[in-house]
Copies of this chain bind each other. A is one copy, B any other.
Amino acid sequence: MTARNPTACLLIIGNEVLSGRTQDANIRFIATKLSEIGMPLREVRVIPDMRDVIIDTVNEARAKFDHVFTTGGIGPTHDDITSECIAAAFEVPWEAHPVAWARMERAFRAGEFNPARQRMATMPRGAELIDNAISVAPGFTMGNVHVMAGVPRIMQSMMDTLLPRLPHGTPIASRAVHAFRLPEGLIADGLEAIQKRYQGLDLGSYPFYRPSGNGVTIVAKGPDAASAEAAIAEVTALILSLERSPIQGEPEAGTAAGN
């Protein structure tokens, strides 16, 4: 991560993740997309549907990070309070958005664009819509805050809309090598020495415990792909010196929760 890359913060708004009812399905998707455009995610916060908490957290995050992404709380029910809290955070009126209102009014039959649904067309003054391919109700951008739905497939479609509008930094290159039957405690000292020689990289060590066997994955991340490759080449030599077999890439790539 270079110092010049824009930074991002994600706020997951809603009681359902905090209560354990829902398994989060949004962090990884957003983290991966932002990493691809060189806007590293520096913090995630999961916060409840509480007005003061949302307002304070949004204001803290938008001052501290270049871009803030929120998911959740923009539906039609009483616990969907994100939109009005964003207005309060920016100290602007929360009012009908003419484009969103007209579009939603058309989408529903007469009498079905009720007060609850009208709330989804009510936004902070100055909001720019974030359309999506799934639902007629849009998200919106206010300043550096991007307000999206919590439902994963709607959020994903909103991210597709949003990504071309965002500033892009230097993409973060990632290279990995793994080895079975290699405890972290054996490779740690050699790894630290390599990290010291590559100050522009993040060298991460991740043990895994899988049916196919236990071991460790070493990941080098940074804006310079060549130096990520060079560092992983040194780690590969280190693994050989410990009499293990280095394997390029991640074990069973795509498997969740293995770390």
Q: Which residues of A contact B (CB under 8 A)?
A: 12, 14-25, 27-35, 40-49, 75-80, 112, 114-117, 120, 150-153, 172, 174, 184-189, 191-192, 195, 202-207, 209, 219, 221, 256-259
Question: Looking at the complex, which one of B112, B206, B221 makes contact with A22 (CB distance below 8 Å)?
Answer: B206
Closest to A154 in B: B209
Are A257 and B25 touching (Cβ within 8 A)?
yes
20 examples of A-B residue contacts, CB within 8 angstroms: A15-B202, A15-B204, A16-B204, A17-B28, A18-B31, A18-B41, A18-B43, A19-B35, A19-B41, A20-B29, A20-B33, A21-B174, A21-B204, A23-B28, A25-B256, A44-B45, A44-B46, A45-B46, A49-B204, A77-B187
CB distance from A181 to the nearest CB of B (A): 14
A185 neighbours in B (Cβ, 8 Å): 76, 112, 114, 116-117, 120
Give the chain B neighbours of A76 by CB distance below 8 A.
184-185, 188
The listed residue (B20, B150, B203) touching A259 by CB distance below 8 A is B150
> Which of B14, B24, B219 meets A21, CB within 8 Å?
B219
Within 8 Å CB of A189, what residues of B?
114-116
Bound CA span A30–B18, Å: 9
Docked pose: A41 CA to B24 CA in angstroms: 15
Please determine whether B32 and A20 come into contact, CB atoms closer than 8 angstroms: yes
Task: List chain B residues, Cβ under 8 A from A120.
Answer: 185
How close is A58's CB to chain B, nearest CB, in angstroms?
14
B residues near A191, Cβ cutoff 8 Å? 77-78
* Interface contact A79-B204, CB-CB below 8 Å: yes
CA distance A19 to B35 in the complex (A): 6
Q: Is the CB of A19 within 8 A of B172?
A: yes
Q: Output the least CB separation between A105 and chain B (Å).
A: 13
Q: Which B residues are in CB contact (< 8 Å) with A209?
A: 151, 153
Q: Give the CA-CA distance A37 to B41 in the complex, in Å.
A: 33
Bound Cα distance from A69 to B180, whole angstroms: 30
B residues in contact with A35, CB < 8 Å = 19-20
- Additional A-B contacts beyond A45-B46, A76-B184 (7; CB < 8 A): A16-B259, A19-B172, A23-B28, A23-B257, A44-B44, A112-B185, A116-B186
